[in-house]
Structures are given as structure tokens and as C-alpha cells.
Amino acid sequence: MINVTKSYLPDLEEYTAYLKGIWDRVYLTNDGPLLRELESQLKEVLGVKHLKFCTNGTIVLQMALKALDITKEVITTPFSYVATTNALLWEGCTPIFADIRPDDYNIDPNKIEALITENTQAIMATHVYGNACQIEQIQAIAEKYKLKVIYDAAHTFGATYKGQSILSYGDLSTCSFHATKVFHTVEGGCIVTDNDELAQKLHFYRSFGHRNDDYFSIGINAKNSELHAAMGLCVLPKVPELIADRKKVFGYYNDRLDFSRITRPSLTPGVEYNYAYYPVVFDSEETLLRVVDSLKAQEITPRRYFYPSLNTLPFTITAGAGELQSCPISEDVSLRVLCLPLYPSLAEEDVDRIATIVNETVAVVNENV
């Protein structure tokens, strides 16, 4: 069985050493010593000013909207994981979908301005597959119209843009530390900002809005535990090695896939990539479905990611703007894109097998047209 991803697990002894400490201290959660240690190491590694370690990469999106008082229209991408749109809808905001760029599938800044109304408060964009959006152009639009910028940077751990962590851009940036991501804490996520006031707000939000025995404001429970922080402390030092291994696997695919009928998203100049995903785009959904069948027959499970285009989900229409907002590029790409298995320990022979199945299936489909 080969799955689209496989979580890295540290040596059990290393993890149990942290557990021993937790058992000794009987301090399990609520801003504990391991959580603080992890936050401090993450800030150091990422080179960011404020970082709050939370329970997952979805609740931090909701906290971002709350912290910036966003309740109305938000211009967002239809090409992301459903959590991006869910966070907007859950917070009562209206997602306004701007279509994506045909070359890298990130939100197209040239489509944003036409969608701005007097109700627009923010732009929420995803750095798709860990590759940076058009950050400067988005920032310029935000400044011109006084909009906030929130980045769903769930895929970007370890990736940099112009030498800085991609997480350091925008008013607020969020990451997921879910078991399937490049760096993980089993479940987890973080929110990043260089604004002191926002950081203070987020600190209180995370813990019910508590300020000592008093309350700062409405809050939520987004606290993560010492056991999750311990996993993070074990995985974090391995990240450079894990990314290097991913890069190797990436290279095996690049060498073996037949790109005459397969395309790949481009990388934004200035990005040092983290090799988070290996998406390939076929000429049609029919070809994609045939490839999926061929792979599954060999117990290989790729993933349609991202699918479907979020603007087409029934609840994003009913709970959103009330009508289908057309995003032809995203709708088209999401039908044809497939993420192939990619994880640090994936063997070269396995990539060889996967690439052969993909190439042969694509060739057969094309012979039959």
C-alpha cells in the first residue's frame, strides 16, 4: 500500500523521553513548558516575531478573521482546501472568489480589484502547494483599498520567499501542523504576526479570552497540549532532512514522468521550495480518472487535491453570496489535478512504478482517442 502521504514519526524513545518529563511534571496543557519551548524554537527557525501554537490549521484561520474584525466580504481563492472557505463561512463572512492564475494556481491578483465593493474587508489567499502567491501585488491592492491580508500558509512550512519564511507575509499568516503536512504535531497549527497588539489578542483568544482571572474578550479554546508540543519538538530538528528527502523523491518523479501530456504548476521566482506536494495536471478529467483507477489497482492511492473548486460547493453558494460565482480556471484545473504520493521515505523503485503506471495510462488513453 502506498498512500499519497505518510507521516514521519520520530524514534519512540525520543518521544517517550518527553513523555517522562510530562509525567514527572503532571503539566498536560494550558501554555505548558513544552509548548513554550516549541513556540520559541519555531519562532527561531522561521525567523518570525510572534507565533501562537494552536490546536489545528483551521481554527487559526477563524481566529485571524476574529482578530481583524472581519465580518463582511472577503476576497478569497476557490482553489484551496475546504478549510479556507469553511473558516470564512463559519465566521459569518461572505467569500468572494477571485479566479486563479493558470500557471501556478494561486489567486490571480489581477482579478481582485474588480471584485472589491464597499463591503470588502480582507483578502484571504492560500499559498497553494507551498508556493508563494503574488505577495507584493496583493499587498499593493490591500494598501490601496485599506484591506487586511490573511494568508492560509498551511502548506508552506520550511519554504521561503526572498529569503524569509513564507509565513512572515500578510497581516496574519496561518499554518497547519496536521499529520499530513511537512512539519507536524499530529494535530496542530499556528498563527503568525509581527504586530504586537494582534499577538496579544490571539494569545487571549486561544484560551477562552482569559486574562488571568478576568476576561479580555470573547475567546475560543485553541490551546494545544504538551503531548502535541512534544511531537513537534521531536519532528522540528528533522525538518531540513525531511525536506531534503522530499526533494529527492521530487527529482525521481521529474526524471521519470513523460511531460508531453502532463503539466505541473510553476514556482514563483524567489521561492525556496519545501517540496510539500507533487501535483500533476492531465489533459482531461477522463484521463485523471483512468490514472486514478490504474494506480488504485496497484494499491497506490493518489489524492484529488484540490477538488472540487470551492466556489462550486452548494454550501459556499447558499451560505455565501447566494449565487454561483464563476471561476473557470479553478473549475477546470480542479477537475484535472492529481497529487501523486510524496513523502520523505518513498523509495525510488516505488516512484519508478508510479511514474510508469501514470505514463502508460496516459499513453493508452491518448491512443484510444
Binding residues (CB under 6 A) for ligand PLP: these are 56-58, 80-81, 83-84, 126, 152, 154-155, 176, 178, 189
Q: Given the complex with ligand PLP, which of 81 and 282 has the nearer CB atom?
A: 81
Q: Given the complex with ligand PLP, which of 50 and 181 has the nearer CB atom?
A: 181
Closest CA to 19 of 230, 188, 233: 230
Q: Give the side-chain half-sphere CA count within 13 A for 348.
A: 5
Shortest reach from residue 56's CB to ligand PLP, in Å: 4
Buried b (16+ CB within 10 A) or exposed e, 121-134: bbbbbbbbbbbbbb
User: Within a 10 A sphere around the Cβ of 113, how many other Cβ atoms?
Assistant: 12
Closest CA to 316 of 303, 332, 327: 327
197 phi, psi to nearest 5 deg: -65, -45
Shortest reach from residue 174's CB to ligand PLP, in Å: 8
Q: Given the complex with ligand PLP, which of 32 and 57 has the nearer CB atom?
A: 57
Shortest reach from residue 285's CB to ligand PLP, in Å: 22
Q: Given the complex with ligand PLP, which of 8 and 81 has the nearer CB atom?
A: 81
Query: Does the active-site annotation cover 49?
Result: no
From the candidates 52, 66, 148, 181, give the one annotated as an active-site residue: 181
Shortest reach from residue 170's CB to ligand PLP, in Å: 14
C-alpha 198: how far from chain center = 22
Q: What is d(CA 127, CA 61) in angstroms, rounded to the nearest whole number?
A: 14
Q: Given the complex with ligand PLP, which of 60 and 262 has the nearer CB atom?
A: 60
Q: What is d(CA 363, CA 259) in angstroms, rounded to the nearest whole number?
A: 11
Closest residue by beta carbon to ligand PLP = 57
Shortest reach from residue 183's CB to ligand PLP, in Å: 12
Closest CA to 67 of 155, 196, 156, 212: 196
State the catalytic residues: 181
